[in-house]
A and B are shown apart, each in its own frame.
Chain A
């Protein structure tokens, strides 16, 4: 049921419009009815006293693996959708690397239907760029788009044949579809599990050099220029990569990019004791890279930050570092970690929140990430000061592995509203 909700005393922050003031917020019919003064005859079904809380647009996450279909033993749609709203995430894009991969319209429709039936966050599937993510044949982008895919992604699967990539980008450009790519040359990455540098040398871990990213970026950017395809670069990890994207943007290329939240805070040194929770894709790189990513996100060279939520079961992490399944839980850490990044960069709260609201919404091209009268009432209420300790018990996600386990973070979501429905209340 769509409630009429009156949110009082919240500090309303809308990065899209620059609003940052303590005003009442009124919700009716699933939309923002008004901000400031109540619409005529507004009678709330529910009043929320949000004193001390921030009300911002619901978070938009560019990458959250929901693990269905195929990996239900790692997580289920139910658990991960709950994790999303517990983290204030109201819209999320999910990569196609399920089992089977999202390369058929039927699968996409089923996923969308299942997600909608749960009535929690909004799910935007990314279709497979190539059939079976095998990097050989272009997937049916038209059919998949009709079924609800908002872009086409190769996920972490290699695409070694540049001719396939060229044709996929040409085909996508014909119809205006967005092509998502994680820039990594699989030959140069060759079995690596850690950033090539002092730490991988000391620990004797097979390494992924920086050039694995930059060589791939050079190729992708050249092909983007040639084809005119709209390209989104997923999970940048190096300073040199940031510089290449900045130059490409400066010369007018239609590229966007994101960074995973873990990469804004951690570097290769953090894996110093073979902590398998630090085994991430791409690998955690040098402190210099991490600092460059932080700055680039603040400067807008990197468009958005995502949770890169990847639930991994304990058994897949209780093994030696190099054998561990990469990935970490992220949906519920996205907000506190982005707040910490903003504080480190001395950014105003509105600018900080833009990185997880209006900016990712613009990448996806969806109506989200803003709190203006008439927009969908996707709202996140959170206490920016409230400390909490990251523990397995504190997480709704079935993925309990995080490099931040045991650490205290500030910022906890209290209420999440999607389309005017309260879907989470702490």
Chain B
């Protein structure tokens, strides 16, 4: 078993599957590269020729308009040819296996696969079976990882807070089902954040989460005290009632981020959210649109970070 299947023997990034195991140096390299692309995205002609002639396949086994679009824009701004495939609605429905789909696309000379899948570990499986020189980017696998989202969050935090080693970061809500939260936790710990908190009811926090190096809070007001960064997670509609939660209303009452609760954090705290928002559930509009919110810059930075990841994987950055 390769302990770190995303890095080659020379330490080069060959796939981006998870933020776990990425060195601080590698993360900083990705963020630094992204900062160069931010300026590209501010130009009138938002295009560089770094991936000209390369074919990038966005292979989405699970629907996602938003993430797929950001990857598509990122690839196009690098001048790559982008092919979008919504596999959930086609090949697998005809009985084709995941690997057959990938091998067929590989035969069409794909250089990179951006993969989203409902099962944890699907991008790992693909990475094990693609030809050398073909790269895999995890665009979200089950509850496991969403590394580009984690990295764009790191970019956003660095942009506003500069130094990771003095921060208190709180992640609030449905950590159990959140691939974003896991990717953030690994990246934050690697970058030296001394205190990462997770806040939520016991039903939405996975068992042994503290083994990932976080502090667990069940009381939102207590958990938010003196925080520099608050990351609210989307409460998925399907989790709003049933055995995990009584109702969206009760969740909001206990864990919704309101202006009053935000006041427990540091005065210059930033509020983040991976989107899409459930206003009035995990976050109030007053907070989502307020002065502490950096939710829109997150989206903007997301393009640059994805450009950086693709360029680095292709060996051009």
Contact = CB atoms under 8 A, between A and B. Distances in A.
B119 A201 contact: no
A202 interface: yes
Contacts of B206: 200-201, 207
Nearest to B129: A318
Given A318-B99, A319-B97, A322-B142, A203 B212 contact: no
20 contacts: A198-B212, A201-B211, A202-B182, A202-B212, A203-B120, A204-B141, A204-B142, A205-B143, A209-B207, A274-B121, A274-B124, A315-B97, A318-B97, A318-B99, A318-B129, A319-B97, A320-B98, A320-B142, A321-B119, A322-B120
Given A203-B120, A318-B99, 4 more contacts: A203-B121, A205-B143, A318-B97, A320-B120
A209 B124 CA distance: 25
Contacts of B116: none
A272 B5 CA distance: 12
B245 interface: no
Nearest to A207: B207
Interface string B157-189: 000000000000000000000010010000000
8 nearest A-B pairs in the assembled complex, by CB-CB distance: A274-B121, A204-B143, A204-B144, A320-B119, A201-B206, A320-B122, A198-B208, A198-B211
Interface in B180-223: 182, 206-209, 211-212
Nearest to B98: A319
B208 to A, nearest CB: 4
Contacts of A274: 120-121, 124-125
Interface residues of A, number: 24
Contacts of A414: none
Interface of B: 1-3, 5, 20, 97-99, 117, 119-122, 124-125, 129, 141-145, 179, 182, 206-209, 211-212
A14 interface: no
Contacts of A207: 206-207
Interface of A: 196-198, 200-207, 209, 272-276, 315, 318-323
Contacts of B98: 319-320
A420 B182 CA distance: 60
Nearest to B185: A202
B124 A318 contact: no
A409 B264 CA distance: 59
Contacts of B3: 273
Given A320-B98, A321-B119, A322-B119, A273 B207 contact: no
Contacts of B122: 320
B207 A320 contact: no
B204 to A, nearest CB: 12
A275 B3 CA distance: 12
A364 B129 CA distance: 44
A204 B119 CA distance: 9
A207 B143 CA distance: 11
Given A204-B179, A318-B97, A318-B99, A323 B119 contact: yes
Contact of B182 (A198, A204, A276): A204
Contacts of A273: 1-3, 5, 124
A245 B83 CA distance: 57
B124 to A, nearest CB: 5
Given A205-B143, A205-B144, A321 B121 contact: yes
Task: From A202, A206, A322, A323, name the one whose CB has the most chain B CB atoms within 10 angstroms.
Answer: A202
A68 to B, nearest CB: 25
Contacts of B179: 204
A272 B121 CA distance: 10
Contacts of A315: 97
Nearest to A272: B1
B3 to A, nearest CB: 8
A207 B208 CA distance: 12
A71 to B, nearest CB: 18
Contact of A322 (B121, B207, B208, B211): B121
Given A198-B211, A315-B97, A320-B125, A205 B1 contact: no
Contacts of B141: 204, 320
Contacts of B212: 198, 201-202
Nearest to A286: B208
A260 to B, nearest CB: 21
A319 B117 CA distance: 11
Nearest to A195: B207
Nearest to A276: B125
Contacts of B5: 273
A276 B119 CA distance: 12
A182 B5 CA distance: 36
B187 to A, nearest CB: 14
Task: From B120, B121, B212, name the one whose CB has the most chain A CB atoms within 10 angstroms.
Answer: B121
Nearest to B182: A204
A318 B142 CA distance: 17
A272 B206 CA distance: 17
Contact of B209 (A201, A275, A321): A201
Contacts of B97: 315, 318-319
Contacts of B99: 318-319
A206 B141 CA distance: 12
A207 B142 CA distance: 13
Contacts of B124: 273-274
Nearest to A315: B97
Task: From B20, B207, B209, name the one whose CB has the most chain A CB atoms within 10 angstroms.
Answer: B207
A274 B99 CA distance: 15
Contacts of A202: 20, 182, 211-212
Nearest to B2: A273
A123 to B, nearest CB: 33
A125 to B, nearest CB: 33
A320 B121 CA distance: 6
Contacts of A276: 125
Contact of A201 (B117, B129, B207): B207
A320 B117 contact: yes
A269 to B, nearest CB: 11
A207 B206 CA distance: 9
Contacts of A319: 97-99, 119, 125
A319 B128 CA distance: 11
Nearest to A270: B1
Nearest to A274: B121
Contacts of A205: 120-121, 142-144
Nearest to B120: A204
